[in-house]
Structure 1
Amino acid sequence: MIAILIGLTIGIGLPIQTSINSRLRESVGSPFLASLASFTIGTLFLAVVTLILDHTLLFSAGLFTSQPWWIWLGGFFGVIYLTGNILLFPKLGSVQTVIMPVLGQILMGLLIDNFGWFGSKVSALTVTRGLGALLVLLGVICTVALSNYLANHHNNADTKPAASLWLWRLTGVLTGMLSASQTAVNGHLGVVLGSSLKAAFVSFLVGTVALVLIVGVTRTPLHLTIPAGADHNPWWMWIGGMLGALYVLGNVVLVPIVGTGLAVVIVLVGLMTGSLLIDQFGWLGAKRHPITLVQVVGLVIMIAGVALIRLF
Structure 2
Amino acid sequence: MNARLRAAFGSPFLASTISFAIGTLFLAGITLGMTHHLLFDPALFTTQPLWLWLGGVLGIIYLTGNILLFPKIGSVQTVIFPILGQVLMGLLIDNFGWFSATMTPLTITRVLGALGVILGILITVVGPSWFEHRLPTQTTPATNLWLWRCFGIFTGMLSASQTAINGHLGKILNSPFQSAFISFLVGTLALCLILLVLRPKFNWQTVKQKNTWWMWLGGCFGALYVLGNTYLAPIIGTGLTVVVVLTGMIAGSLLIDNFGWLNTPKRPVSIIQILGLLVMGLGIVAIRLF
TM, length-normalised to structure 1: 0.77
Separation in 1 of the partners of 2:224 and 2:75? Answer: 25
**2:75 match:** 92
Separation in 1 of the partners of 2:124 and 2:167? Answer: 31
**1:189 match:** 169
Deviations 1:253-293 (A, max 9, x none): 7789xx53787777555433321022223322334444322
Separation in 2 of the partners of 1:286 and 1:81? Answer: 24
**2:250 match:** 272
Asked whether 1:133 is paired with 2:114, we answer yes
Distance change >3 Å, CA 183–CA 263, structure 1 → 2: closer
**1:211 match:** 191
Q: Conserved in 1, the CA contact under 8 Å of 2:164 and 2:233?
A: no
Instruction: Report the alpha carbon displacement of residue 84 of structure 1 after superposing the two structures with TM.
Output: 4.8
Instruction: Report the alpha carbon displacement of residue 195 of structure 1 after superposing the two structures with TM.
Output: 1.6
Distance change >3 Å, CA 289–CA 84, structure 1 → 2: farther
Runs of at least 5 residues in structure 2 that lack an aligned partner in the other structure: none
**1:57 match:** 38
Distance change >3 Å, CA 218–CA 132, structure 1 → 2: same
**2:180 match:** 200
**1:308 match:** 286
Bigger mean CA offset, 247-256 vs 287-296 = 247-256
Instruction: Report the alpha carbon displacement of residue 174 of structure 1 after superposing the two structures with TM.
Output: 3.9
Which amino acid in the other structure matches residue 80 of structure 1?
A: I
Which amino acid in the other structure matches residue 245 of structure 1?
A: A
Name which of 213, 236, 240 aligns with 1:260: 236
> Aligned to 1:309, what secondary structure does the other structure show?
helix
> Aligned to 1:79, what secondary structure does the other structure show?
helix
> Aligned to 1:61, what secondary structure does the other structure show?
coil
**1:4 match:** none
Q: Conserved in 1, the CA contact under 8 Å of 2:85 and 2:152?
A: yes
Q: Conserved in 2, the CA contact under 8 Å of 1:46 and 1:197?
A: yes
Q: Conserved in 1, the CA contact under 8 Å of 2:109 and 2:286?
A: yes
Between the aligned residues of both structures, percent identity stands at: 56
Instruction: Report the alpha carbon displacement of residue 44 of structure 1 after superposing the two structures with TM.
Output: 0.6
Runs of at least 5 residues in structure 1 that lack an aligned partner in the other structure: 1-19
> Aligned to 1:58, what secondary structure does the other structure show?
coil
Distance change >3 Å, CA 28–CA 131, structure 1 → 2: same
Instruction: Report the alpha carbon displacement of residue 241 of structure 1 after superposing the two structures with TM.
Output: 0.6
**1:244 match:** 222
Aligned residues: 283
**1:297 match:** 275
Instruction: Report the alpha carbon displacement of residue 25 of structure 1 after superposing the two structures with TM.
Output: 0.4
Which amino acid in the other structure matches residue 305 of structure 1?
A: G
Asked whether 1:78 is paired with 2:59, we answer yes
Separation in 1 of the partners of 2:169 and 2:50? Answer: 11
Ranked by relative contact order (alpha carbons within 8 Å, sequence separation 6 or more), the top structure is: 1
Name which of 20, 26, 29 aligns with 2:10: 29
**1:5 match:** none
Instruction: Report the alpha carbon displacement of residue 175 of structure 1 after superposing the two structures with TM.
Output: 3.5
Deviations 1:157-195 (A, max 9, x none): 68625999x878766544432221111001111122222
> Aligned to 2:34, what secondary structure does the other structure show?
helix
Distance change >3 Å, CA 251–CA 189, structure 1 → 2: closer
**1:226 match:** 206
Which amino acid in the other structure matches residue 49 of structure 1?
A: I
